[in-house]
Amino acid sequence: MSPQQVQFQREMGWAIALHGGAGDIPLSLPAERRKPREQALRRCLEIGVAALKANRSPLDVVELVVRELENNPNFNAGKGSVLTSKGTVEMEACIMDGITKECGAVSGLSTVVNAISLARLVMEKTPHIYLAFDAAEAFAKEQGVETLDMTHFITPENVERLKQAKEANRVQIDYTQSIQKDVSEETPNANGDSQIGTVGCVAVDSQGNLATATSTGGLVNKMAGRIGDTPIIGAGTYANNLCAVSATGKGEAIIRATVARDVAALMEYKGLSLKEAAAYVIDECVPKGNAGLVAVSSTGEVTMQFNTTGMFRACATEDGYSEVGIWHTSL
Ligand code: ASP
């Protein structure tokens, strides 16, 4: 089925989905950690729905929602970004418009309050797609976006998370050394924190315009300079005229599987529906326990799939359906 044929089948309205990270979220997650995230998901969903109803473009909608999530310290992006093995913050983000395939990405930010908006500026104000580290920071200053000292982004919870990740890494290395004598040096072991995650949003309007945005602090205890899937077009983030996808989970696994692009490719080349394509990629292409995604199609279909214990997520469609969930059943 050609993309044009899929477009002609369009009969549904707008749709939006967002996530606050996928991972090994324990079913016993204490209420004081669960509730603020649930509330944030609901509030961000309302903000996104209101913007779609007000005829804001999907690109504006995904940026708006991701900015809200970045400003919330309960998620691993912006203010709540997890820390590198050096205790620093290196944020990254990506935004993409489905119809035009215009996109922008940033990595290695340590002072920019809303990385997603800088990614949009890279898309709109430069001939390039991706800026990183010092040059991205310099571009932020040049564009006059809000910046704050790196200490603003370092929350006590993330200092503790880094401590725990280093401790877990040390225990793992002690164990490995006891069975494998040639491991002599401690290497940073980035691990997916079980209770905090990357943020993302996808949206389609009733004309079938699509957009996606993803933003993250990366993985706890990552090496300085590590770039994950989030800013990589086709891995953590991708949109075309058929669908918009935002992924979350272990970046290295998501990059290897080109998760977001594969969903679009299965629709484009094999004629799969959005749900079929997303389920195939999550179930068959990424090792279990590694990834989740939210996606919408140009026909207003929405899907939220994950092969982890849970994924903080929410969605709504024009026909009145809405869902907020963490584990495999919705809340
Ligand atoms: N995918 C992100 C990364 O690997 C992390 C996450 O989704 O929580 O950088």
Assigned domain for 188 exists: yes
At 170, the pLDDT band (50, 70, 90 cuts) reads: confident
In a domain, 94, yes or no: yes
Tell me how far CA of residue 291 lies from CA of 97, 202, 249, in angstroms.
Answer: 23, 17, 4
- b (16+ CB within 10 A) / e for 224-263: eebbbbbbbbbbbbbbbbbbbbbbbbbbebbbebbbbbbb
Backbone dihedral region for residue 60 (phi beyond 0: left; psi -120 to 50: alpha; all else: beta): alpha
Residues 176-202: what's their mean pLDDT? Answer: 57
Tell me if 283 is assigned to some domain: yes
How remote is the CA of residue 311 from the centroid of ligand 1, in Å? 12
Using a 6 Å CB cutoff, which residues line ligand 1? 21, 76, 197-198, 216, 218-219, 228-230, 236, 248-251, 254
Going by C-alpha positions, the residue among 232, 197, 194 that lies closest to residue 218 is 197
**Atom 4 (ligand 1): residue with closest C-alpha?**
251
Mutate to test the pocket of ligand 1, among 19, 69, 229 (most ligand atoms within 8 A of CB): 229
Q: What confidence score (pLDDT) does residue 181 get?
A: 43
Q: What is the mean pLDDT of residues 85-102?
A: 98
| ∠ CA 257-188-281, rounded to 5° | 15
Using a 10 angstrom Cβ sphere, with 0-12 exposed, 13-18 middle and 19 or more buried, the burial of residue 102 is middle
Q: Determine the atom of ligand 1 nearest the C-alpha atom of 76.
A: 8
- Whether residue 216 is contained in a domain is answered as yes
Which atom, in ligand 1's list, is nearest to the CA of 248? 7
3-state secondary structure of 70: helix
- 3-state helix, strand, coil split of the chain in percent (to 5) is 40, 25, 40
pLDDT reading at 101 higher than 50: yes
Question: How far is the centre of ligand 1, averaged over its atoms, from the C-alpha of 250 (Å)?
Answer: 5
For residue 217, give the ligand 1 atom closest to its CA. Answer: 9
Each residue's pLDDT tens digit, 321-330:
999 999 998 6
Domain annotation covers residue 221:
yes
Per-residue pLDDT tens digits for 124-168: 999 999 999 999 999 999 999 999 999 999 999 999 999 999 998
Tell me the HSE value of 248 on the side-chain side, using a 13 A CA sphere: 40
Residue 12: pLDDT band with limits 50, 70, 90 = confident
205-225: average pLDDT = 97
The strand pairing partners of 215, in sequence order, are 93, 199
Q: Taking CA 117 as the corner, what is the angle to CA 150 and CA 121, rounded to the nearest 5 degrees?
A: 115
Say how many domains are in the chain: 1
What's the CATH number where 77 sits? 3.60.20.30
CA atoms within 13 A on the CB side of 77: 34
251 labeled part of a ligand binding site: yes
Q: Give the chain's mean pLDDT.
A: 91
Note the pLDDT of residue 329. Answer: 80
Q: Distance between CA 167 and CA 164 in Å, rounded?
A: 5
Give me the pLDDT at residue 176, please: 52
DSSP 255-266: HHTTHHHHHHHH
Q: Using one digit for the tens of pLDDT, what is the confidence trace for 231-267?
A: 999 999 999 999 999 999 999 999 999 999 999 999 9
Q: What is the mean pLDDT of residues 118-128?
A: 98
Task: Please check if 250 is assigned to a binding site.
Answer: yes
Contact 304, 293 (CB under 8 A): yes
Instruction: Specify the residue for token string 């050609």.
Output: 2
Q: Is 225 annotated as a binding residue?
A: no
Lowest mean pLDDT among 25-34, 49-58, 173-182, 194-203: 173-182
- For residue 192, name the pLDDT band (cuts at 50, 70, 90): very low
Task: Using the predicted structure, report yes or no on whether residue 120 has a pLDDT greater than 80.
Answer: yes
Bigger pLDDT: 186 or 2? Answer: 2
Distance, CA 71 to ligand 1 centroid (Å)?
17
Contact between 216 and 77 under an 8 Å Cβ cutoff? The reply is: yes
- Residue 330 included in any domain: no
Q: Is residue 173's pLDDT more than 90?
A: no
pLDDT over threshold 50, residue 301: yes
227 is known to lie in a ligand binding site = yes
Contact 44/314 with Cβ under 8 angstroms? yes
Å from CA of 56 to ligand 1 middle: 28
198 CA distance to ligand 1 centroid (A)? 6
Q: Is 261 annotated as a binding residue?
A: no
pLDDT band at 11 (very low <50, low <70, confident <90, very high): low
Q: Is residue 331, in this structure, part of any structural domain at all?
A: no
Kindly tell me the burial class for residue 214, based on how many C-beta atoms sit within 10 Å of its own C-beta (0-12, 13-18, 19 or more): buried
Under 8 Å between Cβ of 215 and 69: yes
Which domain range does residue 293 map to? 3-325
**Cβ(63)–Cβ(102) under 8 Å?**
no
Is the residue at 287 inside a domain? yes
pTM of full prediction above 0.85: yes
pLDDT at 182: 42
List Cβ neighbours of 274 (8 Å cut-off, separation of 6 or more): 243, 263, 267, 295, 296, 297, 301, 302, 303
Q: Which atom of ligand 1 is nearest to the CA of 190?
A: 4
pLDDT band of residue 4 (cuts 50, 70, 90) is: very low
Does the pLDDT value for residue 9 go beyond 90? no
Lowest-confidence range among 6-15, 22-31, 49-58? 6-15
Query: Catalytic site residues?
Result: 198
